[in-house]
């Protein structure tokens, strides 16, 4: 079955919307597999290690290379590379585009490889700077330093994996790249069960196994994508053409994006430092909640922005402003339609969701309560973070990386200020709330500034958002009522928890579907048609 414009009266170009939504569907399906395996990974870590000294050390150590990961992996590199690589594919040839890719991979090997070496050498100073509060507990900072040294090479592996992903995305391939992180998750799950018990035999803490698993997972993320890259004719070549105008264009985009992300990463570093001064477990509560929060963010927000970046880049290369406007409008509608109800689900059912995923082994009901609070506050900003990613992708495709950079400076400052203001009263909860407020500020400013480049119908989008918010709130209220009724009937065992959540979410989704029909939300029809194809 093929869907055409005759199938709908939607004023938006339907065939293009169908293509966008279908690509998002493929990306989301793969991401769902990846994120579910990621939640299993976190559940394994929680069950094996609980929430305390060793998990705080591991998450801080892993966060350190991750502070640089977005610069050379999913965000800055992709934002700079994909538009230029897509432009080469569109206006020149595959050979020309591949030559650009060879130069980029060789620069990564040299530059990021050097950062990895420096990071391993100066790990003691880095960990002390970012988690000074750990010095108060004997051995905690030393363990964090050991884990940091082991995890730094992950930065190079994930950067190369991200480049593989960017190349495939530019060819319109989204499923396999989005599936690749599953290899990373499976490696950590295996490490928790198979390698951790062996660590004491060699005089190492069991948590060290998770660092080893992360490195294995980094290799797997590359190898999962290699076949599709090879099928498109990509072969490694020692080409390093730094004078290539296209490579210079990547660099010109890369640095503004990087500066914006550096501000964000400084924010994360400051937040980690501040959270390390709070009660033990604070970092773990935030981390466990963040993992759940990123499930809808990856399924919908990142999915739409990743697919949209390829479309934006192609339309910008062809100077087709009309089609670019349509794609941006469709992308924003789609991301709001998907993320607003997802936020409400996590808010309405935060406690049972956290209990189902994490409350096993060493993870107690007190940990569940604290993590649930953080999840609620994080979830408020899901729609905003997703909107920022879509709007920023549009700016990048237009070769404007400075506007998102400037806005990021402002939002980072507001985030840190809110944390300092609220952390004494809200404790760790302040960090989740501040992140959401900062994201809403970022999305609002970018939304109005994009109007200087593309004339969107802002009023129509605002009315659309209000409709989706109303429908989602009713859905969440229904889900909460259903779960409360079931909780008093069902047994507390794991299977009954699954049944309770499944029924509650299902009834809520049916409510959402019916109300979307009543409010004439066109996206519900489009998704239904894709489901049937």
3-class secondary structure, 241: coil
pLDDT of residue 262: 67
Split into its structural domains, the chain has a count of 1
Residue 314 lies in a domain: no
**Residues 6 or more apart from 257 whose CB is under 8 A from it?**
75, 76, 79, 80, 396, 401, 404, 405
Q: Say what the pLDDT of residue 526 is.
A: 63
What the block records as the tokens of 221 is: 């993320």
Q: Is residue 480 part of a domain?
A: no
Contacts of 444 (CB under 8 A, 6+ apart): none
- Name every residue whose Cβ is closer than 8 Å to that of residue 187 and which is 6 or more positions away in sequence: 213, 214, 216, 217, 220
Written as six digits, the tokens of 477 are 């209220």
Alpha-carbon span 205 to 150, nearest angstrom: 13
Distance CA 180, CA 225 (A): 7
Whether 239 is in a domain gets the answer yes
The answer to whether 72 and 162 are in contact (CB under 8 A) is yes
Concatenated DSSP letters of 63-110: HHHHHHHHHHTTTHHHHHHHHHHHHHHHHS-HHHHHHHHHHHHHHHHH
| Alpha helix (H) residue ranges in 450-493 | 458-487
State the SS3 of 113-156.
Answer: HHHHHHHHHCHHHHHHHHCHHHHHCCCHHHHHHHHHHHHCCHHH
Find the DSSP H helices in 171-206. Answer: 175-179, 181-190
CA 488 to mean position of chain CA atoms: 36
- Cα(447)–Cα(450) distance, rounded to whole angstroms? 6
Q: What is the pTM of this model?
A: 0.75
Cβ(375)–Cβ(349) under 8 Å?
A: no
Distance of alpha carbon 96 from alpha carbon 532, whole angstroms: 39
Tokens of 435: 């992140």
In a domain, 470, yes or no: no
- Domain for residue 37, yes or no? no
Distance (Å, rounded) from C-alpha 95 to C-alpha 99?
A: 6
pLDDT for the residue numbered 337: 92
Classify 399 in phi/psi space as left (phi over 0), alpha (psi -120 to 50) or beta: left
The pLDDT of residue 428: 86
Q: What is the per-residue pLDDT for 17?
A: 57
Distance CA 203, CA 201 (A): 6
Q: For residues 127-147, b (16+ Cβ closer than 10 Å) or e, as one string? A: beebbebbeeeeebbebbbbb
- Alpha-carbon distance of 336 to 246, in angstroms, equals 34
Q: Within a domain: residue 333?
A: no
What is the pLDDT at residue 533? 46
Q: Is 359 helix (H, G, I), strand (E, B) or coil?
A: coil
CA distances 19 to 1, 316, 367, 456, Å, are: 14, 18, 43, 21
Residue numbers of the domain that contains 246: 53-278
Token output for 170: 């530019």
pLDDT by residue for the chain (533 residues), tens only, comes to 333 434 444 444 455 555 666 777 788 788 888 878 887 888 888 888 876 778 888 888 887 787 777 666 666 777 788 888 888 888 777 888 899 999 999 999 999 899 999 999 998 888 888 777 776 776 788 888 889 999 999 999 998 998 998 899 888 888 899 899 999 999 999 998 899 989 988 888 888 999 999 999 999 999 999 999 999 888 888 888 888 888 888 888 888 877 776 666 667 667 777 777 777 778 888 888 888 888 888 778 888 888 777 778 777 777 667 788 888 888 898 899 999 999 999 999 999 999 888 887 778 888 889 999 999 999 999 999 899 988 988 888 888 888 988 898 888 888 889 988 988 888 888 888 988 998 899 999 999 898 778 878 788 888 999 999 999 999 999 999 999 888 777 776 778 888 889 999 999 999 999 999 898 887 777 665 544 44
Residues 6+ apart with CB under 8 A from 227: none
Question: b or e along 34-61 (b: 16 or more beta carbons within 10 Å of the residue's beta carbon)?
Answer: bbebbbbbbbbbbebbbbebbbbbbbbb
- Note the Cα 505 to chain centre separation in Å: 23
Q: Say if 108 falls within a structural domain.
A: yes
Tokens found for residue 82: 């994909």
Residue 325 included in any domain? no
Rounded distance between C-alpha atoms, residue 24 and residue 168, angstroms: 14
Task: Tell me how crowded residue 453 is: count the other CB atoms within 10 A of its CB.
Answer: 16
């Amino acid at each position: 079955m093929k869907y055409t414009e005759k199938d709908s009266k939607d004023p938006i170009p339907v065939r293009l919307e169908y293509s966008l939504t279908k690509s998002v569907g493929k990306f989301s399906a793969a991401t769902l597999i990846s994120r579910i395996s990621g939640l299993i990974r976190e559940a394994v870590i929680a069950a094996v290690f609980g929430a305390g000294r060793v998990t705080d050390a591991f998450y801080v150590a892993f966060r350190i290379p991750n502070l640089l990961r977005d610069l050379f992996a999913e965000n800055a590199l992709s934002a700079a590379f994909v538009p230029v690589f897509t432009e080469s594919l569109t206006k020149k040839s595959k050979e020309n585009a591949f030559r650009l890719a060879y130069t980029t991979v060789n620069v990564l090997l040299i530059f990021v490889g050097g950062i990895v070496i420096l990071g391993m050498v100066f790990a003691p100073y880095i960990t002390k700077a970012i988690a000074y509060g750990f010095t108060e507990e004997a051995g905690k900072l030393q363990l964090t330093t050991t884990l940091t040294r082991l995890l730094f090479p992950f930065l190079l592996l994930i950067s190369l994996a991200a480049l593989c992903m960017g190349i495939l995305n530019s060819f319109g391939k989204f499923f396999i790249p989005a599936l690749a992180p599953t290899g990373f998750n499976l490696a950590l799950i295996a490490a928790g069960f198979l390698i951790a018990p062996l660590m004491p035999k060699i005089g190492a803490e069991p948590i060290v196994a998770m660092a080893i698993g992360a490195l294995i997972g980094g290799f797997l993320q590359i190898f999962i994508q290699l076949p599709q890259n090879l099928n498109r004719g990509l072969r490694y070549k020692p080409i390093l053409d730094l004078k290539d105008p296209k490579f210079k264009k990547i660099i010109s985009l890369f640095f503004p994006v990087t500066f914006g992300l550096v501000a964000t990463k400084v924010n994360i570093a400051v937040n980690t430092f501040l959270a390390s001064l709070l009660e033990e477990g604070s970092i773990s509560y935030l981390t466990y909640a963040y993992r759940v929060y990123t499930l809808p963010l990856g399924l919908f927000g990142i999915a739409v922005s990743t697919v949209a970046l390829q479309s934006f880049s192609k339309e910008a290369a062809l100077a087709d402003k009309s089609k670019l406007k349509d794609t941006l409008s469709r992308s924003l509608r789609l991301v709001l339609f998907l993320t607003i109800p997802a936020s409400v689900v996590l808010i309405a059912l935060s406690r049972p969701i956290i209990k189902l995923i994490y409350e096993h082994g060493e993870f107690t009901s007190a940990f569940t309560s604290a993590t649930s609070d953080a999840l609620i506050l994080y979830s408020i900003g899901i729609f905003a973070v997703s909107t920022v990613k879509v709007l920023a992708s549009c700016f990048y495709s237009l070769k404007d990386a400075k506007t998102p950079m400037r806005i990021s400076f402002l939002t980072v400052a507001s985030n840190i200020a809110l944390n300092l203001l609220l952390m004494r009263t809200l404790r760790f909860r302040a960090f989740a709330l501040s992140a959401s407020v900062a994201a809403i500020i970022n999305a609002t400013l970018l939304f109005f500034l994009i109007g200087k480049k593309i004339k969107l119908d802002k009023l129509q989008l605002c009315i659309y958002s209000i409709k989706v918010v109303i429908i989602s709130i009713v859905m969440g209220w229904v889900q909460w009522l259903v779960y409360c009724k079931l909780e008093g009937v069902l047994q507390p065992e794991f299977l009954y928890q699954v049944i309770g959540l499944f029924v509650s979410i299902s009834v809520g989704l049916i409510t959402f579907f019916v109300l979307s029909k009543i409010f004439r939300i066109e996206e519900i029809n489009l998704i239904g048609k894709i489901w049937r194809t």
